[in-house]
Structure 1
Amino acid sequence: MSEQDLVNDPYQAIRPYRDDEVGDVLNGLIHSDEFIRAITHYQFPRMSEWAGWLLRPVVRILLAARIGDVEDIHGFQTMVADYMAKMIARTTTRLSCSGLERLDDDEAYLFVSNHRDIAMDPAFVNWVRYQYGMSTVRIAIGDNLLRKPYVSDLMRLNKSFIVNRSARGREMMTALNQLSGYIDHSIQNGHSIWIAQREGRAKDGNDRTDPALLKMFYMSQRKERSFSEAVERLNIVPVSISYEYDPCDASKANELAAKASSGVYEKSEFEDIDSIVKGITGNKGHVHVAFGEPIRGQFDTPEQLAQEIDRQIYINYYLHPSNLAAAGEQVDAQAKSLFDAHLAQVEGPAREIMKQMYANPVFNHKRAEAGV
């Protein structure tokens, strides 16, 4: 990238694609053998092993026809919405939301969300806004999930922007400052953003905002305004996403049990991608998305702001029968039986870890209600 490119478009390396870039990106995807191989494997997992050579040309032709009319980001997201509707029908018993009445669609917000599922958390936020005729949000996604160029292209077509987690040293400070500037730039230009409250999913069910994230929000503004003024400017809204059942709960519990036992856990090469697929295709039961209130008032430190974000996430978290059963609260016999059967998929220490994973939101909710 030339210096002039940086001046004209300082966020080019991390921002979502623009409408005028969609055609070339889609054309590149259609001609990507790796992408076509991945789609063929996803659509025909068994047949692709022995008949992939026959299926791949057909998949390429069908995919080209499907995306042939897509000319801009809205068109791409409309196509994604068709798949999203089918996925929701297959993998959830109910999808509900609360708090949208607090929001003005003429305003841009920085949605700081708890994080349970890599792909589905922001997808559900976008879906409920889309259903109510509100604009979709730009999504922060770590570059650790974008090792494959075609994955990066797909995410950036879907309004995702890149969080450079692999940078080190001075390069990291440059990347964080660029990210901070991009988030502020988006909000000031009317584009809402979704970002997780900390790096990585809350695998133990304990949702905690990382103050370092909030410091990053302020980095690009620190020479111009106070921390409290920056908070007001960013229009932060906490979001609580709760799943009756987490499709990745067993793998999370086994990972935490392995860490507790040996102190280490080595991820396999494509474990994050496998988690994305499992999160999309697995049973979720009832899913609820709760939007909090835009944060106003005086906040002198990131730690104070983190406490308020956490408070709203805990208070607004929808407690499912699975959560209540795990915490020993009174639930009907059927709900208790269903949760016990769900727990039985893991053994040993992982079972208690999974139970705690579902119970923690109840305990956090009670502490927030008590003002603790």
Structure 2
Amino acid sequence: MGEFDSIRPYADAEVPAVLARLLADDVFLGILTQFRFPRLAKSFGWLLKPLIAYRLRKEFIGVNSVSALQDKVEPYVDRSIEDATDGVTYSGVEGLKRGSAYLLLANHRDIVMDPAFVNYAVYHAGLPTPRIAIGDNLLQKPFVSDLMRLNKSFIVHRTISGRREKMAAYQLLSAYISHSIVNDCESIWIAQAEGRAKDGDDRTDSAILKMFHMSRKTEPFGDVIRSLKLTPVSISYEYDPCDLAKARELYIRATTGSYEKAAGEDDLSIALGITGYKGRVHIHFGKPIEDECEDSKQLALKMDQCILGDYRLFPVHYLAYEMWAQRDPQLEVPTAAELFGKDELDTAKEQWQKRLAACPAEQQPYLILQYANPVRNQYRVKAGLAL
């Protein structure tokens, strides 16, 4: 057994056996049937599941590597993205060089689509896709774990409670990330903080940056970070499909002090995040960090400046900021009308009003907050003010 077998993605040699296991998994086939035939699944699922399994076996016959699987799945991913967006653009990807591996640290808004959009940009630039960090809290069903590990995902253990066990898990994770980049020359994607930024306030958790250094403590912190080619990535959604659910959660937390997730809530968030309307999406890849940062806290500030500074702001962000009761008096923020043309702005106003109308009045401040925070943060970065 290899050192990283408990967390690593599946290797090429494992692909055929894992695919066979997936296509024999009744729960997985049931979900596919429900997704493909929502009206017929309940009454005729017993008939449709074997037909779907047969069709998939036929389609994936001969697929015996991760790259071949990704090539096969890519048209479906592209179609899903095209159906749920008004277009995806990306910038800075030309700075990623073939033959180099990068530690891509990104803001986190959506469980599945954040890394999917990064993969989309990298794949269409003709570069190998990164390995993706995913929390074990999202891998409760065996077929989900199989699916994610087939797509170059590796496991981050978040459900461990004991301090000693946590330290061992972080040590292993740190060693794996370093091994992937330095030895395997395989890039890594990881979110800047655990959990999605539900209030739109993207901040880098210094503990994650500290973890990168854990397995190489005998080396200077700055040298390790440079060797990993730590690269900030800004993922900007015009509209968040889960914004109303996030506003509800923020409101409940603010009024009761806590929030308990319902059974299957993460599954619903994943489904809505994939299929829900996002408007335009932009992904920006910054340059690898070369600055001399003495520690993880200093580096976190640098990452925040890069991620927030390169975040693409859309008209809806400015419309929300104009409504926000907590606008920053130190900042000179132009209005949406000063920045965008009439047609674009009218379309944004119509969509924004629909979202506000669908949100209960008491929760609306938390909806506004999600779209206004990126404006505040970016203009504070531009003004050289502390976040």
- TM-score normalised per structure 2: 0.92
For 2:158 and 2:336, how far apart are their aligned partners in 1? 43
- Amino acid corresponding to residue 57 of structure 2 in structure 1: A
Residue from 86, 96, 110 that aligns with 1:93: 86
For 1:306 and 1:20, how far apart are their aligned partners in 2? 38
State how 1:331-350 maps to structure 2 within 5 Å. Answer: 331=337, 332-350=345-363
Query: Which structure 1 residue ranges, 5 or more long, are not aligned?
Result: none
Percent identity among equivalent residues? 47
Q: Aligned with 2:42: secondary structure?
A: helix
For 1:112 and 1:351, how far apart are their aligned partners in 2? 30
Larger CA deviation: 101-110 vs 329-338: 329-338
- Amino acid corresponding to residue 49 of structure 1 in structure 2: K
Q: Aligned with 1:327: secondary structure?
A: helix
- Amino acid corresponding to residue 233 of structure 1 in structure 2: S
Q: Aligned with 2:86: secondary structure?
A: strand
Are positions 1:354 and 2:347 aligned together? Answer: no
* Match of residue 270 from structure 1: 264
Larger CA deviation: 109-118 vs 55-64: 55-64
* Match of residue 109 from structure 1: 102
Residue from 330, 343, 362 that aligns with 2:336: 330
Deviations 1:44-72 (A, max 9, x none): 22211121112111111112112223111
- Amino acid corresponding to residue 376 of structure 2 in structure 1: F
The alpha carbon displacement at 1:303 in A equals 0.5
* Match of residue 245 from structure 2: 251
For 1:351 and 1:98, how far apart are their aligned partners in 2? 33
Q: Aligned with 1:237: secondary structure?
A: strand
For 2:368 and 2:362, how far apart are their aligned partners in 1? 10
Q: Aligned with 1:285: secondary structure?
A: coil
The alpha carbon displacement at 1:335 in A equals 2.2
For 2:75 and 2:346, how far apart are their aligned partners in 1? 37
Q: Aligned with 2:189: secondary structure?
A: strand
* Match of residue 168 from structure 1: 161
Larger CA deviation: 21-30 vs 32-41: 32-41
State how 1:184-223 maps to structure 2 within 5 Å. Answer: 184-188=178-182, 189-222=184-217
The alpha carbon displacement at 1:274 in A equals 1.1
The alpha carbon displacement at 1:333 in A equals 3.5
- Amino acid corresponding to residue 309 of structure 1 in structure 2: M
* Match of residue 229 from structure 1: 223
State how 1:297-308 maps to structure 2 within 5 Å. Answer: 297-308=291-302
* Match of residue 115 from structure 2: 122
For 2:175 and 2:85, how far apart are their aligned partners in 1? 37
For 1:156 and 1:22, how far apart are their aligned partners in 2? 10
From the superposition, tell whether residues 304 and 31 of structure 1 become closer, same or farther in structure 2 (CA, over 3 Å): same
Kindly tell me the number of residue pairs found equivalent between the two proteins. Answer: 364
For 2:21 and 2:347, how far apart are their aligned partners in 1? 51
The alpha carbon displacement at 1:308 in A equals 0.5
* Match of residue 141 from structure 2: 148
Residue from 250, 261, 275 that aligns with 2:255: 261
Deviations 1:111-144 (A, max 9, x none): 0000000000001001111111111000000000
Contact 2:315/2:336 (CA < 8 Å) preserved in 1?
no
- Amino acid corresponding to residue 35 of structure 1 in structure 2: F
Contact 2:102/2:228 (CA < 8 Å) preserved in 1?
yes
For 1:253 and 1:228, how far apart are their aligned partners in 2? 39
From the superposition, tell whether residues 63 and 334 of structure 1 become closer, same or farther in structure 2 (CA, over 3 Å): closer
For 2:286 and 2:248, how far apart are their aligned partners in 1? 32
Query: Which structure 2 residue ranges, 5 or more long, are not aligned?
Result: 323-334, 338-344
For 2:94 and 2:153, how far apart are their aligned partners in 1? 25
Q: Aligned with 1:225: secondary structure?
A: coil
- TM-score normalised per structure 1: 0.96
- CA RMSD after TM alignment: 1.1
For 1:70 and 1:277, how far apart are their aligned partners in 2? 26
The alpha carbon displacement at 1:338 in A equals 2.3
For 2:91 and 2:153, how far apart are their aligned partners in 1? 24
Larger CA deviation: 322-331 vs 282-291: 322-331
* Match of residue 26 from structure 1: 19
For 2:21 and 2:376, how far apart are their aligned partners in 1? 49
4+ residue segments displaced more than 2 Å: 329-338
* Match of residue 282 from structure 1: 276
For 2:188 and 2:263, how far apart are their aligned partners in 1? 29
Q: Aligned with 2:185: secondary structure?
A: coil
For 1:336 and 1:48, how far apart are their aligned partners in 2? 39
* Match of residue 327 from structure 2: none
For 1:42 and 1:167, how far apart are their aligned partners in 2? 33
- Amino acid corresponding to residue 358 of structure 1 in structure 2: Y
